[in-house]
Structure 1
Amino acid sequence: MTGTPDVFPPAPGGTPLVALPAGPRKPDQVKGKLYIKTHGCQMNEYDSAKMADVLAASDGLELTDSPDDADVILVNTCSIREKAQEKVFSQLGVWKGLKNKGREVIIGVGGCVASQEGEAIIKRAPFVDLVFGPQTLPRLPALIRARREQKRPQVDSSVPEIEKFDRLPEPRAEGASAFVSIMEGCSKYCSFCVVPYTRGTEVSRPFEDVVVEVAQLAAQGVREINLLGQNVNAYRGPYGDGEFADLGLLIRTIAEIDGVGRIRFTTSHPLEFSDSLIDAFRDVPQLANFLHLPVQAGSDRVLSAMKRGYTALEFN
């Protein structure tokens, strides 16, 4: 691989669920194969699905279960554990062998490790073609084109506010359950966590955008909606004329969409657990009777050192 990488600047309850079958892509629409390996949280699973949607719409790439068959290989990374990072570089070393065999395969690294490490990934693994952060999914087709045309690696680890949701194609459903990201980032800055530095501070998607995405999924046969966010109950989506909708209102609205039989959300924070959300658990039958609310520690000294913002007594 020749040349130095291009670095893109920042942009100014219990009922069985049955899904309708998703229609296959027509053979004449398929122009290549895409393999995605996902590490980490549910948000990464959502992001990987969006990568597939974007590249299917722009380049006609069809998912494959084998990297050996792929024209584009992407790994969506997690930076929470050092072991996970090292596992990524081990995988990259295996995929390097595909290039050594003369194949014109594009290898890309996305997710939080990409956001955290940026160009350092290219220095450690110079055969990598793309490095892109979790907020830059809409730019993925352009990054691939630039790599092919300019013959040098492309790096975009910027953290633009919410841009990743602005130009995404209609979601494609697979199965009865689907993830829907409603916000990005976290503003709590707990002492042990890298999320604010890899995914940015909290930014909520507009209320209407989330409702439209859920309706599109329900129309394709999805019955269970999993709402995602690093701090999901901090959701404050623009709604109406200068107003903001909280998670409780969003859940109530989604429950009115035809076909939605169950709603879940993760991961929540004790500081953001509001009366509105409590009322939703009482009033919305589609909302699953399950809550992930991590206390993290029972010691006030430890909670203070973690910068969690509450005491054990307040949690109880």
Structure 2
Amino acid sequence: MMQENNLEEKTMDEGRQGEALIIEGQTNGKRKLYIESYGCQMNFSDSEIVASILDKQGYETTGNMEEADLVLLNTCSIRDKAEQTVRNRLANFNTIKKERPDMRIGVLGCMAERVKSKLLDEEKLVDLVVGPDAYRDLPNLLEELDEGRKAVNVILSKEETYDNIEPVRLGGNGITAFISIMRGCDNMCTFCVVPFTRGRERSRDPQTILEEVIDLRDRGYKEITLLGQNVDSYLWYGGGLKKDFDKASDMAKATAVSFADLLGKVAETAPEMRIRFSTSNPQDMTDDVLHAIAKYDNICNYIHLPFQSGSSRVLELMNRGHTREQYLDLIRRVRTIIPDCGISHDIIAGFPTETEEDHQETLSLMKEVQFDFGYMFFYSERPNTYAERKMEDDVPLEVKKRRLREIIEQQNRDGQARMERFVGTEQVVLVEGFSKKSDQDLFGRNDQNSVVVFPKEDYRAGDLVRVKVNSCTSATMIGEAIELVRR
């Protein structure tokens, strides 16, 4: 269950939002690189791209920050808590830097553009600031540091997708991996900074995506997650921004690749790998995508489908592009086309002007859908967003917290009910590692992305195991292995 001061419900995704992942691996360099990543899966994927670029510059990654020559924080601006965590970490790093004045400290990612002046000049916490589209420039920026100049590049790009960079797979389990298929976002939700920190939507060449899939398959990975701020908007037509598609030639339009097309290509390229994707926006998800999930056995029956509020009035203020009724209609189509689909959500409690009636509409939507799990937060203003500039943050903090608590309680009840449907069934589980509670138990996920824990016996990470589910909590199934499906 979520603790209120964490601003989110923990799931067995291990609460990646707002927590650090230390990128640690072994390359052939001489200088030491230490990276921490905060926020969404896209940031973790970006850190692997950075590690690849710097590997070619002679840096090897380390899990010991005190021995690093270069310390990088890949940052998130989605919520205030993540930013405060980054600032606290930077203060800690600078304490160590007093003993190691040759250490360089840099900030990457979504915080970079917005706070570059403060971090560099006013607070003097960093030596290097690099935005999400400027990682290729890191070698030049490090040279500038060596020459005693400030090193900053936060310019957004209309073309950059890093499609010809093979990420260094670091900090993972060797079983599951992320593949970024697009960058940026065109959905100007009034609470969100992503369009300002990551730019406009542009999709990656599908051939390079398939090449990355093949590489992971050949290296023994068992599952991939296709990543984008809004994967359903993926559209490749020979390059360029999605918004310019109408200007493309007839030939480009005729050969364009949609997200549903891409899903099919990936599934057919690696039929023994599990395929997942994140994140979807309700207004952009088409039935073609749902039918692709239903068609291919290796595309997992799970969709992360944020709705943010159950009130159509609030959704309009958020500029979400869909109503309550449209969201529920999409849920009905999902359940019709993919009857056993797992569905998770994002919810914001206490958006400006949210009334008690609006809040009750959110709770009633949750009751109607019965989500498997979700990520729940109370609203905090993000600088430069439309909501911050034009709307008063008028819901008192104590009301936000109380509404969030009620949302979490509802999700716990719904999650328990959804988990209980698995009790007595057999689930095929991809083992990811040891349970956090005991090294005598393994944990993995079923097709619906729900966590299953069972005694390890002779099984190991990477195995597909058929498990009989005997009991559950609201977040975890507990069972016993029946047989090895595939190693």
Q: Give the TM-score normalised by the residue count of structure 1.
A: 0.86
Conserved 8 A contact 1:136-1:156: yes
Report how far residue 260 of structure 1 moved.
4.6
Return closer, same or farther for 1:33/1:260 CA change in 2, 3 Å cut-off: farther
**Worse-matched range after superposition: 306-315 or 162-171:** 162-171
Q: Which amino acid is 2:312 matched to?
A: D
Matches within 5 A, 1:1-316: 25=27, 29-56=28-55, 58-148=56-146, 150-169=147-166, 171-172=168-169, 174=172, 175-238=174-237, 242=252, 243-258=255-270, 260-316=272-328
Conserved 8 A contact 2:271-2:298: no
Return closer, same or farther for 1:259/1:144 CA change in 2, 3 Å cut-off: farther
Structure possessing the higher radius of gyration over alpha carbons: 2
Report how far residue 230 of structure 1 moved.
0.6
**Worse-matched range after superposition: 31-40 or 206-215:** 206-215
**SS of equivalent to 1:59:** coil
Conserved 8 A contact 2:163-2:208: no
Q: Which amino acid is 2:39 matched to?
A: G
Query: Aligned partners of 1:155 and 1:260: how far apart in 2?
Result: 43
Return closer, same or farther for 1:192/1:103 CA change in 2, 3 Å cut-off: same
Report how far residue 120 of structure 1 moved.
2.9
Query: Aligned partners of 2:26 and 2:47: how far apart in 1?
Result: 19
Query: Aligned partners of 1:298 and 1:127: how far apart in 2?
Result: 41
| Structure 1 residues 88-141: Cα deviation after superposition (integer angstroms, max 9, x where no partner) | 122111111233114411111001000322333202332511100111111112
Counterpart residue number, 1:18: none
Report how far residue 204 of structure 1 moved.
0.9
Return closer, same or farther for 1:49/1:227 CA change in 2, 3 Å cut-off: same
Report how far residue 315 of structure 1 moved.
1.3
Query: Aligned partners of 2:185 and 2:272: how far apart in 1?
Result: 28
| Structure 1 residues 8-37: Cα deviation after superposition (integer angstroms, max 9, x where no partner) | xxxxxxxxxxxxxxx954xxx321111001
Query: Aligned partners of 1:205 and 1:130: how far apart in 2?
Result: 28
Counterpart residue number, 1:5: none
| Structure 1 residues 126-180: Cα deviation after superposition (integer angstroms, max 9, x where no partner) | 25111001111111122112211x2122011110123251552465475111101
Return closer, same or farther for 1:312/1:287 CA change in 2, 3 Å cut-off: same
**SS of equivalent to 1:291:** strand
Report how far residue 276 of structure 1 moved.
1.4
**Worse-matched range after superposition: 293-302 or 166-175:** 166-175
Query: Aligned partners of 2:326 and 2:270: how far apart in 1?
Result: 39
More strand by share: 2
Return closer, same or farther for 1:259/1:124 CA change in 2, 3 Å cut-off: farther
Conserved 8 A contact 1:110-1:133: yes
Report how far residue 285 of structure 1 moved.
0.7
Identity of aligned residues (%): 39
Conserved 8 A contact 1:116-1:197: no
Query: Aligned partners of 1:255 and 1:223: how far apart in 2?
Result: 12
Return closer, same or farther for 1:292/1:170 CA change in 2, 3 Å cut-off: closer
| Structure 1 residues 54-76: Cα deviation after superposition (integer angstroms, max 9, x where no partner) | 111x2221111111011110000
Return closer, same or farther for 1:86/1:211 CA change in 2, 3 Å cut-off: same
Query: Aligned partners of 1:253 and 1:102: how far apart in 2?
Result: 50
| Structure 1 residues 219-267: Cα deviation after superposition (integer angstroms, max 9, x where no partner) | 2221211000111111002369513211111111111224751000011
Query: Aligned partners of 2:206 and 2:183: how far apart in 1?
Result: 14
Which of the pair has the greater relative contact order for Cα pairs under 8 Å at 6+ separation? Answer: 1
Q: Give the TM-score normalised by the residue count of structure 2.
A: 0.57
- Residue correspondences, number: 289
Q: CA RMSD in A?
A: 1.9
Return closer, same or farther for 1:170/1:82 CA change in 2, 3 Å cut-off: closer
Conserved 8 A contact 1:134-1:199: yes
